[in-house]
Amino acid sequence: MKKFELTDRQSRISQREAWIGVGLVFFHFLWWYGFAYGLGNKPVEDYQYVLGFPAWFFYSCILGFIIIFLLVVIFVKVFFRDLSFEEEEQD
């Protein structure tokens, strides 16, 4: 059985895409944490509401999901490349 190795180009592209994914996860966590604990760190009587949800929940969970979904779609379409990881047969 032949061992499959990445070429330098495939390795660089894969690492760049992995770092983009890590950056998106980090951004999503900061977004969620900032709104959930920033706006949600008040007494319940002082909450503001958006569409019937507490503002901290709406911004951290609902709007945050929509924004991260759109960012992932945009980043995949713009920055990610289609790579073939199939072994190439050499004669």
pLDDT per residue as tens digits for the range 18-67: 999 999 999 999 999 998 888 778 888 888 999 999 999 999 999 999 99
Q: What is the pTM of this model?
A: 0.76
- CB-based burial, 50-89: b 16+ in 10 Å, e otherwise: eeeebbbbbbbeebbeeebeeebeeeeeeeeeeeeeeeee
Average pLDDT over residues 1-21: 79
- CA separation for the pair 46, 11 (Å, rounded): 51
pLDDT at 89 over 70: no
pLDDT higher for 10 or 25? Answer: 25
Q: Which two tokens stand for residue 12?
A: 């660089």
